[in-house]
Structure 1
């Protein structure tokens, strides 16, 4: 029995065939597994299906900081990594990009497996059975599973400012441009509404933010590989 099964009534026909696969995976691996299907033609409300529950998200939640970065910097179409949620849950996660027949990105299929309780056992078995050469370091990411676009923007913005040890009340114009450059590299401006939220945080207009984007020589707010509705 699947404890959590949420599917948007408006899910794209291109993504709907993945739902039975997600249901099978959760039935197979139980309550520690969650599968989330994203419609990346609308990153600001991308979650269109949730099977299982690990990250406590709702339908139409925005995409994560990790997926935004993948969209901005396309590479491997399937990525496996460890991550930690904001409330401290340890996860083994994967993200697989979904493309249409024209090679446009239309969505992604994300698996989150809760590994809390298994970590110490895994470490013991690894030390026991693997040689040093066989022990591969798994990439660790701090993926943020937010339910609103404001939370996504604020969490990424706060992280960028903290990385620079900047005082939010005393940020110079040059620092703002540098911050906009970093936010752009992380794919934040692929999300509808991000410009307005950042403008409000900076106490300026959205036109000033667009001007900053022009200055970092990347004012195009969409990825040519991402399919628009």
Structure 2
């Protein structure tokens, strides 16, 4: 039995019972919306293996068992999705750099807690060419992407890729290589990563430590300082 078959069995065995009914919806929407659309079902009670169903059209390079995205982590950390049912038309970036138009529907339990997310990612490149052509004749306009605070959503296939993309985005703003950072600069990076919810993932500390050229013990010390500062505010 190949690896993909094993992954599909994992969905049947481990998918949250409250999310199971959405699995067929993933396949249905995938067929209806076609080859330029990817449908993903996330179980946010298992952040490290969040993807529990995916349409046959795979635009982001993820698979069953891939983790949540950086944007999902940030929303869960900040609680910004508390009073929302969905968010639409924001920017998602696949591992190969393809920019997708993404939308997310929040799935809640009877306690109004978010337990899952149904995500639609669309490759609009073909459509944009058609719209650009039509706009010359009938004034058709492209739907605009919603302005969402940075970072944009990185559709990472693994926890390691998720950590690397999150760190790269923050370190890029500092413009200092990790191996040359001072303790204060590393502390600033850790604080931003914490705000973005990256430390909600199990096993992430070792990956962050490697990327920032420091030890796991140092990362825990930085996190402790961040929590003390927040606690004193």
Instruction: Report the TM-score when normalising by structure 2.
Output: 0.80
**1:12-91 alignment runs, 5 A limit:** 12-52=16-56, 53-73=58-78, 74-75=80-81, 76-80=84-88, 81-91=90-100
8 Å CA contact 2:91, 2:99 repeated in 1: yes
Match of 2:157 among 147, 152, 160: 147
1:116 to 119, 125, 133: 125
CA–CA distance in structure 1, aligned partners of residues 135 and 218 of structure 2 = 53
Higher-helix-fraction structure: 2
The equivalent residue for 2:4 is none
1:93 aligns with 2:99: no
CA contact (8 A) 1:47 1:63 kept: yes
- Conserved 8 A contact 1:35-1:109: yes
Map 1:215-226; keep pairs closer than 5 Å: 215-217=225-227
Question: Residue 199 of structure 2: SS of its match in structure 1?
Answer: helix
* Count of residue pairs brought into register by the alignment: 213
Q: Secondary structure at the match of 1:83?
A: strand
Residues 73-101 of structure 1 show CA distances to partners (whole Å, capped at 9, x for unaligned) of 22334111233324243322111222211
* Aligned mates of 1:42, 1:170 — CA distance in 2: 35
1-structure distance, mates of 2:142, 2:98: 23
What's the counterpart of residue 197 of structure 2? 187
TM-score by length of 1: 0.81
Compared CA separation, residues 142 and 22, structure 1 to 2 (3 A): same
Structure 2 residues without counterparts, runs of 5 or longer: 1-6
**Structure 1: runs of 5+ lacking an equivalent:** 221-229
Give the secondary structure class of the aligned counterpart of 1:14.
Answer: coil
- Residues 110-158 of structure 1: CA deviation (Å, up to 9, x unaligned): 111221211122245457436xxx9874226743222221111111112
Distance of 1:218 and 1:54 partners within structure 2 = 41
Equivalent pair of 2:91/2:153 in contact (CA under 8 Å): no
